[in-house]
Amino acid sequence: MSSERPSDDTNRGSSIWQNERVRRVILYAAILLVVFLLGLVPMWMTARERGRELTSTQTALRISTLQNTLAGAAIDARQGRYEPARQATSDFFTNLQTEIDRGSDSIFAEAQQNALRPVFDTRDDTITLLARGDAASADRLTELYNTFRQAMAGTPPQ
């Protein structure tokens, strides 16, 4: 009873790297991976650029929304519509506070945040004037609007 061993010729050909078909499949897979990456990298760079553009556009939109809310409140107050002006002014202050509280994620630079913080000193008085229907509130809102625009432009308020 002798045990028969397979010949060394069959063992030699069983190595995965010696099989021509396997080497060809691995080569094709490597080429396919390189082609995939050549297509992926430009698309990734384009998507990253579009993401930065989107962030920039959203920032500009949020600033414009704040400015338009305040401008609308000033116009309403000039026309004697004090309640819509009061609501818009309240929305402006709430949204402005939210943006400033975001800190480093805020749409405002540090210098703009510092220029806008004193605006909150007049919040209660302005809203009270609007609630009373006082005509002086229109002038106060116009001053507030100009202060906001100057802070956005980076010029010191006058």
Q: At 80, list the tokens.
A: 């004697």
Q: How far apart are CA 95 and CA 157, in angstroms?
A: 21
Rounded CA separation 59/65 (Å): 10
Place of tokens 């430009």: 42
User: Is residue 99 within 8 Å of residue 106, measured between CB atoms?
Assistant: yes
* Four-residue CA torsion sign, 100, 103, 108, 109: positive
pLDDT band for 78, please (50, 70, 90 cuts).
very high
* Domains in the chain: ranges and CATH: 56-153 (1.20.120)
Could you read off the pLDDT of 3-16 as tens digits, one per residue? 555 544 444 555 66
pLDDT of 19-74, one tens digit each?
888 888 999 999 999 999 888 889 999 999 999 999 999 999 999 999 999 999 99
* Residues 6 or more apart in contact with residue 82 via CB below 8 angstroms: 76, 130, 131, 132, 133, 134, 137
Number of Cβ within 10 Å of residue 133's Cβ equals 14
**pTM of the shown model:** 0.71
141's tokens: 């809102």
Rounded to whole angstroms, the Cα distance separating 29 from 23 reads 10
Burial annotation 100-121 (CB, 10 A radius, 16+ → b, else e): beeeeebbbeeebbebbeebee
Q: Sign of dihedral through CA atoms 101, 103, 106, 112? A: positive
Instruction: Please tell me what DSSP assigns to residue 108.
Output: S
